[in-house]
Amino acid sequence: METLSFRDRLEKTFETTSRFLTPAQELRIQPLLSEISKQKLSLEYFITLTYPFKNVSWKNTVKDTTRTNRIIRKFAKYHPRCIWFIEKHENGGYHRHGLIEDPFKVYNAIGTLNCREDLSRVARSVLDRTSLEMMSSNGSGVDNFRERLFKNSIIEHNKMVADNDNSCVIKREDDVRGRLSYLTKQFWKNSMDPQDVIDFKNSNLDPRIIHSWSRYDFFNP
């Protein structure tokens, strides 16, 4: 059996474009799709955050995401809405995934991300570092300048995220349906109920949608 490296497994996390969904998967994500439509959420970016150590506390994972949301809002200079998910490893540790609205919306309206005066204080704190990284990579890196600036901002101001390419990954999201199917795959698995997988405290969701899911629907078709 082929053994994949952590980086390879992480890359597979992003391979969801045009994924075919089974009827059970469609049923599973329908409450989320309805809520996204109802609230007119425009979820344009997908974030994966892993820990530099084995984190086995679900409660601490939620607290860390609260801090992460605060950093994102300070970077973006507005409150991008988001949905956060918690994934449990086979060894009992946790990591996080987020679908968020465009963190660059304010900067797009201004028309620049390069002018220091236009950036938020959080973004300014990593501007020089990001510029040097982009110049040293000569454009060969996987991140463009804005994604690298956003990534460095999260890493710089969050001690629970390591400073490496595996610990914080940010991508444009083109297939929200497929992504939601991936992010909800642990419903009733690994001792994770839907309310354990979806971080309602840090998500722009009506928590009452939790009643939309029933174990019976999925295991007794």
pLDDT in tens, the chain (221 residues): 445 454 455 445 545 456 789 998 999 999 999 999 999 999 999 999 999 999 999 999 999 999 999 999 999 999 999 999 999 998 999 999 999 999 999 998 887 776 888 899 999 999 999 999 888 876 555 568 899 999 999 999 998 998 887 899 999 999 999 999 999 999 999 999 999 999 999 999 999 999 999 887 766 54
Strand order in the sheet with 168-172: 82-88, 94-100, 45-49, 168-172
Question: Following CA atoms 176, 180, 181, 182 in sequence, which dihedral angle do they give, to the nearest 10 degrees?
Answer: 100
Position 136 scores a pLDDT of 84
CA distance 151 to 143: 9
Its sign, for the CA torsion 171, 175, 178, 184, is positive
Position 218 scores a pLDDT of 67
Position 147 scores a pLDDT of 92
Cα 26 to its chain centre, rounded Å, is: 21
The token pair at 96 is: 């996080």
Residue written as token pair 């840090």: 202
Other beta carbons less than 10 A from residue 61's beta carbon = 23
